[in-house]
Chains A and B, each alone.
Chain A
Amino acid sequence: MHILVMGCNHQTTPIELRERFTFADDRLALARQHLRQMKSILECVIVSTCNRMELYVVCDQLHTGEYYSKTFLEEWFRIPREDFQEYLYCKQDQGAVNHMLRVVAGLDSLVIGETQILGQIKRFFLDAQEQGTTGTLFNTLFRQAIQFGKRVHTETSIGKNPVSVSYAAVELAKKIFTSLANKKILLLGAGKMSELTAKHFADAEASQIFVINRTFERAKKMAGIFQGEARAWADLATTLREVDIVVSSTGASELVVTKEEFAPILAKRRESLFLIDIAVPRDIDPKLHQLDNVFLYNIDDLQEIVAKNLKLRQQEASRIEEWITTEVGKYFDWLNTLGVIPLIDSLRQKALGAQEEVMQRIERKLPDLTEQERRIIRKQMKSLINQFLRDPIVRVKELAAQPDREQIFTLFAHLFALEEEGLEGSKEEPAQFAKSRLSSSTSI
């Protein structure tokens, strides 16, 4: 049995092909069912987001699994195999689990460390589990991966540092003010960047947004987007006294807010003022930054913050890669222990059979035993068997992770004379065995 992941993402595939490989939400269940019914496929989960499409499958043979996964894509999207197979990546076993953990940790995302993918993977898995296209292997793998993703985001700062200019501006504002909830924002200029930054501030629950633009109609239009207030250019000085944050991106070729003109006004303010100048050429006089309680950041300053944050995220990413290696090891250790279960089952069955035989002999020799006495003898015998078997079971489970486990299983079976019953099962591949023996519904 093997684990296989096949798919395409923003790094490997052009948008023209990616957009054709999109599963509609309402047809995803049908697609999963179709994939699950393909020959060689035993379990499957389909992941489909705007930047990636991936098929996670458990298959009995690698080459057949790969072949039928491609056949599924060909049939489902009606795209000839030759058109897409060069863009697909296909990872197997350790590689597949490693890839999956990188995905949930956000290391494979367009923006490293983003958290959205974790929620999406969880949703795709839960849907597949509910539909019954997953079994023991994927139930355990996805559960472990989701827990790992959560751990990554709580124990590292990979997703905590903003990596866009507009979001960096909001984070800076949070370092100046206690809360943005009661802050007033002035948008100076009604450009696209102002709008994006204002959107972030609005999401942070800024109390009021004013818009000042040379063309009043555009100011009104922009103010309408945020339920704000448009003001005339002539009101700039009075508005600067009122607001806490200014986002400036006019198309002016000269400074719009000069120190000579506005420093006396700003000096009368009682609260801090955060000026964000994202215009090129700049709108706000850099000398204003020298004033006490005035903080001026231009586009280069913000981009420098973004660059530093990206570097920090990459540093965190290398730490997480080390964790991933450990997690992959853990999963395959667990997978290997599945092979020992038939042996343990056989050993238990044999012990219980022996107990039953002895019990019958006792009953024959002591026919006058009361029901209570029988119950006590039975209970004590069972307790003795459990105590006796506990250590061998624990030890053989530990040894199942060893590379020479086949020999160990044979020896174990030989020692306890389990050859006929247990060894056949233990020689099965873990996934096949798991599929045949264990319940497939494990809740997350």
Chain B
Amino acid sequence: MSDGWLYNFFIYLFGFNLLFALTYFFSPQTRLRQVTISFTIVAWGMESLLFILWLIQLFSFQGFESFFLYSWAMLTGSLICLYFVKLDVLLVFANFFCFLVWLQHLIFPRSDFLITELMMSKWVFIHVVMAMVAYAAFSLSSCSAGMYLFTNYLLKKKKWHSILRLLPSLGQVQLISKRLMQIGLTLLLCSLIQGFWIAYQRMDHSIFFDPKTIGSIIILIVYTCILLYWKMKGCQNRKLAWWNFLSILLLMVNYYFLNTSFSFHNWV
């Protein structure tokens, strides 16, 4: 996985995807849509293949990085949304994030992490998968909130723009945003509980002081509050959508900037 050509390949693939998706977004044509979807499916298929290959050599963690799981989950989520609710616009965001994470890992490769015996446990693997899928679900939920805000803006300003025709209805993005948040929250909670359990079983020191753990708990609290407020209000409003939209910053801070003393979280 650490081979440079693979990074280059995926960066070019996502770059082209993004280009097609954006062109389609600004100049909607059926063929462009088909090309965008086809390229995304190709990217997803190749990532899935790599994922399966990696699963075959399960627990030999060499050469595998967590962002790959994030990218795969983003693509899977956006394709599921496309299949069930014809939400094409989510593909633009998914490709954008995938392009960014692959590019970031090409520019700043993490080659110095130490693979310990602990990291080769299947429990740790499940912990990482759940956390990364939760992050992807939260990211897609934030994108949906962004779409809600943009559609709401166009409708309030009465701007009948060609982009508005591409965007899904407010009700639809609300529903998707909520479902994704619920999925993300459940997975993150499970991942945290499992993380604590692993730490309790196999580590000498407490992980409560680990910045990444604290960051994850904050994320959990923030999203729980958003969902509870949503439940109380009955529907999403602009304030709530802004909260959801901006929460992606918390994810990024927690993923990229909170250094940790644990070798395992260092790997993540």
Contacts and interface: CB of A to CB of B under 8 A. Distances in A.
B155 A176 contact: yes
Given A175-B164, A292-B239, 16 more contacts: A155-B29, A155-B30, A174-B169, A175-B151, A175-B155, A176-B169, A176-B171, A177-B170, A178-B169, A178-B172, A270-B235, A271-B234, A272-B235, A293-B235, A301-B158, A305-B160
Contacts of A271: 234-235
Contacts of B235: 270-272, 293
Contact of B170 (A154, A157, A272): A272
26 contacts: A154-B30, A155-B29, A155-B30, A155-B31, A157-B165, A160-B165, A161-B165, A172-B155, A174-B169, A175-B170, A176-B155, A176-B169, A177-B169, A178-B171, A178-B172, A178-B175, A179-B171, A270-B234, A270-B235, A271-B234, A272-B170, A289-B156, A293-B237, A297-B158, A304-B158, A305-B160
A356 to B, nearest CB: 52
Interface in B19-41: 28-31
B167 interface: yes
Interface residues of B, number: 24
Interface of B: 28-31, 151, 155-156, 158, 160, 162, 164-165, 167, 169-172, 175, 233-235, 237-239
A155 to B, nearest CB: 5
B34 to A, nearest CB: 10
A174 B167 CA distance: 11
Chain B binding surface, main DSSP class? helix
B172 A270 contact: no
A437 interface: no
Interface string A246-289: 00000000000000000000000011100000000000000001
Contacts of B31: 155
Contacts of B29: 155
A347 to B, nearest CB: 41
Nearest to B170: A176
List the 7 closest A-B pairs by CB distance, nearest first: A270-B234, A178-B171, A305-B160, A177-B171, A292-B237, A178-B172, A155-B30
Interface string A139-182: 00000000000000011010011000000000010111111000
A320 to B, nearest CB: 13
Nearest to B175: A178
B160 A292 contact: no
Contacts of A295: 155-156
A309 B165 CA distance: 11
Nearest to B151: A175
Contacts of A154: 30
A304 B160 contact: yes
A308 B160 contact: yes
Interface of A: 154-155, 157, 160-161, 172, 174-179, 270-272, 289, 292-293, 295, 297, 301, 304-305, 308-309, 312
Given A160-B165, A175-B151, A272 B160 contact: no
Nearest to A300: B158
Contacts of A177: 169-171
A293 B152 CA distance: 9
Contacts of A175: 151, 155, 164, 167, 169-170
Contacts of A308: 160
Contacts of A179: 171
B162 A312 contact: yes
Contacts of A304: 158, 160
B238 A292 contact: yes
Given A176-B169, A272-B171, A301-B158, A157 B238 contact: no
B107 to A, nearest CB: 40
A178 B84 CA distance: 13
Contacts of B175: 178
Contacts of B172: 178
A138 B29 CA distance: 31
